[in-house]
Amino acid sequence: MLSNLIISSSIVVISLLFGCALLVVWWHYRLPRHVALWAGSFTAAALGHGLRTGGALWPAQDVLFAMLACHASVGGFTLLAWGFRLREQATARAVLAGWGVATIILIWAWVDHGAAWRATSRFITAAADAYMVAWVVATLWHKRGPGAVARWAMALFGVYIVGVAVAAGLARPGGVISNEAFIAVLSIGTPTGMIGTGVMTLLIVVADIMKGLHTQANSDALTGLLNRRGIDEAVARLRTCGQPVVVVIADLDHFKDVNDRLGHAGGDDVLCRFASHLLASVQAGEVVGRTGGEEFVILLPGCDVHGALARMELLRISVPAAFSSDDRLDRVTSSFGIATLHAGESLDAALARADAALYRSKREGRDRVTMA
């Protein structure tokens, strides 16, 4: 009994530590709601094992505590699966429905209160927990790298939980194994599973924070497009593919007049709408960024200058229509400069040639595309 109390108490402490850590990170960094659900999952796990410890310390309330511990276990795994579904922006209806069904069956087992109710409740709880873990694995099914590691770790944990369900069935009154044997099976993998799941969720949260910081560092604060640093990284990635890259600089014509007439807020709105139009006009694998002011950069991998010229002409023609519904604006046009990024050439050199072509577009009357 003492060893079981020590194990249960350890799991309570471990689960509370993970739950508090996730809750603090979620609150401090204003992270998405799935992190709060994970914090709730470990808090529920701590509650469940705390109830089991309480049942051992107060035998008169053992039956009540055991029933509540089963509900806490199912609730904890439900919150874990719900968090993973929410993180991937996937529906969690099946997860929540499973929670509801398991809760009803557990209540029915409690009300029926037959001789085998404890074994039945344990089996239902383990089966529901395995169901929730299966949803976590399904959510991570197509992930690669760290996501694939997390998927297989959760799959292994799910296999263990299925083993717990089998052991619960075998430990029924008159079954082939004793209650002590079931407790041993429960004690073997539960602490490891809790620690592994806690470390995994914390690592996922840290990775998401780092990804967010990286995105923020590489993004233009106004338009959400790549900034100059992000464009540099995009060029480095494209060059690893060995494809030719055409560099285009796009610039809104007479933007200073727009700013003077509409104010900075109105000018920012025009920039954002132009950025959205550029982003909607490129194809998959192509890159759009903003280098400052009204100047934007488009990277066209695998495209020659003649193809780029034809596409930018179509884009130039489409710009006025993108602003035609705004009565505050006169006809909005844009100018373009095109250059090829040669092998071994720096991006700065290609941008300088594209900028010179853009300047010729401006000098020759604006609203036109010029090749370097």
Tell me: the pLDDT tens digits for 121-175?
999 999 999 999 999 999 999 998 888 999 999 999 999 999 999 998 898 887 7
CB-CB neighbours of 364 under 10 Å:
11
How high is the pLDDT of residue 63?
Answer: 79
The pLDDT-based confidence of 3 (bands split at 50, 70, 90) is: low
Share of the chain above pLDDT 70, in %: 97
* Judgement on whether residues 279 and 321 belong to the same structural domain of the protein: yes
**Residue 258 in contact with residue 329, Cβ under 8 Å?**
yes
pLDDT over 90 for what percent of the chain?
62
Q: Give pLDDT, residue 71.
A: 95
pLDDT of residue 56: 66
What are the structure tokens assigned to 23, written together?
Answer: 């809750």
Asked if 44 and 82 count as a contact pair (C-beta separation under 8 A), the reply is: no
Q: Looking at beta carbons, which pairs linking 268-273 to residues 24 or more positions away fall under 8 Å?
A: 268/222, 270/323, 270/329, 270/332, 271/222, 271/223, 272/222, 272/223, 273/322, 273/323
Residue 156 included in any domain: yes
The pLDDT score that the predictor gives to residue 55 is 66
Domain assignment of residue 124, yes or no: yes
Same domain, 178 and 250: no
- pLDDT(53) > 80: no
What three-state secondary structure class fits 345? coil
159 in the same domain as 248 = no
At 175, list the tokens.
């079954």
- pLDDT at position 1 over 70: no
Q: Does pLDDT of 9 surpass 80?
A: no
Q: How far is CA 146 from CA 15, 143, 300, 357, in A?
A: 23, 8, 31, 45
Question: Where is the domain boundary, 149, 183, 217?
Answer: 217
Q: How many domains does the chain have?
A: 2
Sheet containing 369-371: order of strands = 287-292, 295-301, 245-252, 334-341, 369-371
Chain length of the chain: 372
Q: Using CA atoms, how far apart are residues 127 and 118, in angstroms rounded to an integer?
A: 14
CA distances from 249 to 270, 278, 297, 308 (A): 17, 11, 5, 12
Query: Which residue blocks in the chain are alpha helix, DSSP H?
Result: 2-29, 33-57, 62-87, 93-112, 117-139, 146-170, 179-217, 228-240, 255-281, 305-323, 347-363
Q: Is residue 79 included in any domain, yes or no?
A: yes
Query: Half-sphere exposure of 129 toward its Cβ, with a 13 Å CA cutoff?
Result: 31
| Cα separation, 247 vs 89, whole angstroms | 35
Instruction: Look at residue 7 and tell me whether its pLDDT is greater than 80.
Output: no
SS (H, E, C) 110-153: HHHCCCCHHHHHHHHHHHHHHHHHHHHHHHCCCCCCHHHHHHHH
Residues 238 and 303 in one domain: yes
Instruction: Identify whether residues 124 and 60 lie together within a single domain.
Output: yes
204 and 280, same structural domain? no
Residue 281 has pLDDT above 60, yes or no: yes
Tokens of 245: 């890259």
Whether residue 57 lies inside any domain: the answer is: yes
Query: Is 341 part of any domain?
Result: yes
Identify the CATH number of the domain in which residue 264 sits: 3.30.70.270
**Domain check: are 138 and 31 in the same one?**
yes
Band (258; pLDDT cuts 50, 70, 90) = confident
What integer pLDDT is reported at residue 173 of this predicted model?
Answer: 82
pLDDT at 184: 82
Residue 60: what pLDDT? 75
Higher-confidence position of 120 and 187: 120
Domain of residue 89, residue span: 2-217
The pLDDT of residue 4 is 60
Q: Which position has the token pair 């509801």?
A: 100
Residue 223 located in a structural domain = no
Question: Structure tokens of 327?
Answer: 């009565």
Tokens of 172: 């029924």
Q: Which of 217, 250, 285 is the last residue of a domain?
A: 217
The three-state secondary structure class of 213 is: helix
Whether residues 172 and 272 share a domain: the answer is: no
> Which among 351, 321, 323 has a CA at the least distance from the CA of 337?
351
In degrees, rounded to 5, the angle at the alpha carbon of residue 137 between the alpha carbons of residues 198 and 77 is 50
Retrieve residue 134's tokens.
Answer: 């299966």
Grade residue 314 by pLDDT with cuts at 50, 70 and 90.
Answer: very high
- 203-249 per-position pLDDT tens digit: 999 999 998 889 889 999 999 999 999 999 999 998 887 778 999 99
Q: Is residue 86 part of a domain?
A: yes
Round to the nearest angstrom and report the end-to-end CA distance of the chain.
Answer: 82
pLDDT tens digits along 79-129: 999 999 999 999 999 999 999 999 999 999 888 777 678 889 999 999 999
CATH code where residue 57 lies: 1.20.1070
Q: Domain check: are 284 and 321 in the same one?
A: yes
Same domain, 245 and 286: yes
Q: Cα–Cα distance between 112 and 89 in angstroms, integer?
A: 39
Q: 255 and 165 in one domain? A: no
Residue 267 exposed, middle or buried by CB count within 10 Å (0-12, 13-18, 19+): buried
Q: How confident is the model at residue 326 (pLDDT cuts 50, 70, 90)?
A: confident
Residue 222 belongs to some domain of the structure:
no
**Same domain membership, residue 286 and residue 197:** no
Q: Point out the domain boundary residue: 217, 250, 282.
A: 217
pLDDT at 39 over 80: yes
